[in-house]
């Protein structure tokens, strides 16, 4: 790791039960950019009384930012979308290390994922497993 501010824990620094967090305000511009990238321009992602509903995968992508800091290569992801996220909402991803184990290519990792809105309500729950290459 280079020591830049975006660097997170490396496998020897990770521990079962450790929680990694990332926070972001979802903007209307984020939703529009994701709609353009994904090609998903469903009516429910258009402004409703001044707000637009974020795509579920846009919401889930906050957890992948943590994975990126770890150089985590996901092999499996599962998501349960529980509540909508609207433009202007602040969401926080809490990624908990569930398991660590040695694999031929590095460190096998399993994560539990919860994303909460600014009111502390869970908007997304999920999990992921994969590897951090050695």
Token couple for 57: 């995968």
Whether pLDDT at 13 is above 90:
no
The predicted model gives 58-71 an average pLDDT of 95
The Cα-based distances of 71 to 44, 67, 68, 106, 133 in angstroms read 33, 6, 5, 11, 8
Q: What is the pLDDT of residues 15-52, one digit of tens each?
A: 999 999 999 999 999 999 999 898 877 777 776 667 89
The Cα-based distances of 26 to 47, 71, 72, 115 in angstroms read 13, 24, 24, 13
Whether pLDDT at 110 is above 80:
yes
Q: In the chain, what percentage of residues exceed pLDDT 90?
A: 76
Q: Which residue would you say has higher pLDDT here, 114 or 2? A: 114
CA torsion, ordered 111, 121, 26, 38, to nearest 10 deg: 60
The CB density around residue 43, as the number of other CB atoms within 10 Å, is: 7
Q: What is the pLDDT of residues 71-82, one digit of tens each?
A: 999 999 999 999
């Amino acid at each position: 790791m280079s020591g830049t501010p975006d660097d997170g824990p490396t496998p020897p620094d990770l521990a079962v039960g450790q929680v990694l967090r990332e926070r972001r305000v979802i903007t209307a511009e984020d939703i529009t950019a994701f709609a353009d990238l994904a090609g998903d321009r469903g009516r429910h992602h258009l402004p409703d009384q001044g707000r637009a509903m974020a795509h579920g995968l846009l919401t889930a992508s906050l957890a992948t930012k943590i994975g990126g800091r770890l150089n985590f290569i996901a092999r499996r992801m599962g998501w349960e979308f529980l509540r909508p996220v609207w433009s202007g909402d602040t969401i926080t991803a809490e990624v908990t290390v569930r398991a660590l184990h040695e694999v031929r290519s590095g460190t096998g990792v399993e994560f539990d994922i919860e994303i909460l809105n600014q009111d502390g309500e869970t908007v997304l729950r999920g999990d992921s497993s994969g590897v951090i290459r050695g």
